[in-house]
Structure 1
Amino acid sequence: MRATDALTVAAEGGVIGDGRTGANLALGVGLIGVIIGWLALARVAGRIRIGNARTGGVAAVGVGLLGTALAVLHLATSSGGPGTGNGMVGAVVAIPLGLIAAALGRRALTRSRHAARLERERELGPV
């Protein structure tokens, strides 16, 4: 098979090409952010004892915003519309996924601050 034939097959959607790679990357980063945020919330609730909820919350916010930025960048630079094989639908799905990850991370940060304040009050009395 010649290189031109391989590129033609890739352009027709037979192989994942460069058009979908950016959207898949944004989806993956957003999904990782949601998982990190969920684990951070589980740490705050006490269901998981390993790790730090604040670190997980900050990581979830950062990864979620990175996934959202990658998706917006992909949407801004891709040509065509939905169904053309450029990964636009995947990028559109990745935007709320990244925002959900950031929201989960923010919630974990807020809950961990509240839990730390309650623990301080238990030790020292009302401040």
Structure 2
Amino acid sequence: MDSAGALAASIYTMSAGRLGATTAAVLGLIGAVVAGLALTRPTGRFGIEKGRWGAIVALSAGPVAMALGGLVTATSEGGLGTGNGLGGAIVALVVGLIATALGGLALTRSRRTAPAHGGPR
């Protein structure tokens, strides 16, 4: 068996790289969805705080997804298609970056629309 065959994982094997990449991608996707909701509905049923909390969640989930995706990228052996989670880790990096950018935009927008006098929310 050649070295590429030894590095390749089975289709049904859930390796540590695949699990880490999947977790990171799902976390980044959750952050991106929450940031999108915070941008589209900053003042909902619960007032302005909903938009701010959504931005904070996205700004927390995005960098964690990028860090975990970077860790899987740095430690994966082999290339794309070997089953070590490299493809999922790259997706997690991109989705985490999108979540961070949208979260920052939502936080900036929620600060602009926040009441300055501290009145009822």
Please give the per-residue CA displacement for 1:73-112, whole angstroms capped at 9, x wherever unaligned. 1111111111111010111111110011011111111111
Question: Gaps (5+ residues) in structure 2?
Answer: 1-7
- Residue 43 of structure 1 corresponds to which residue in structure 2? 41
- Aligned letter for 1:110? T
Q: Distance in 1 between matches of 2:109 and 2:93?
A: 25
Q: Deviations over 1:50-79 (max 9, x none)?
A: 352112111111110100000001111111
Question: What's the CA shift for 1:42?
Answer: 2.6
- 5 Å matches for 1:1-127? 11-44=9-42, 46=43, 48-50=44-46, 52-116=50-114, 119-120=115-116
When you count helix as a share of all residues, which structure comes out higher?
1
Report if the CA contact (8 A) 1:43-1:49 is conserved: no
CA shift, 1:26, in A, is 0.8
Say if 1:120 and 1:73 are closer, same or farther in 2 by CA, change over 3 A.
same
Percent identical: 47
Bigger Rg over Cα: 1
Let me know the Cα RMSD of the aligned residues. 2.2
In 2, Cα distance between equivalents of 1:18 and 1:112: 38
In the TM superposition, structure 1's runs of 4+ consecutive aligned residues that sit over 4 Å from their partners are none
Normalised to the residue count of structure 1, the TM-score between the two structures is 0.76
Q: How many equivalent residue pairs?
A: 110
The CA distance in 2 between the partners of 1:110 and 1:33, in whole Å, is 16
Partners in 2 of 1:81 and 1:56 — Cα distance?
A: 36
Contact 1:68/1:98 (<8 A) preserved: yes
Secondary structure class of the residue paired with 1:14: coil
TM-score, L = length of structure 2: 0.80
Runs of 5+ in structure 1 lacking a partner? 1-9
Distance, in Å, in 1 between the alignment partners of 2:98 and 2:65 is 11
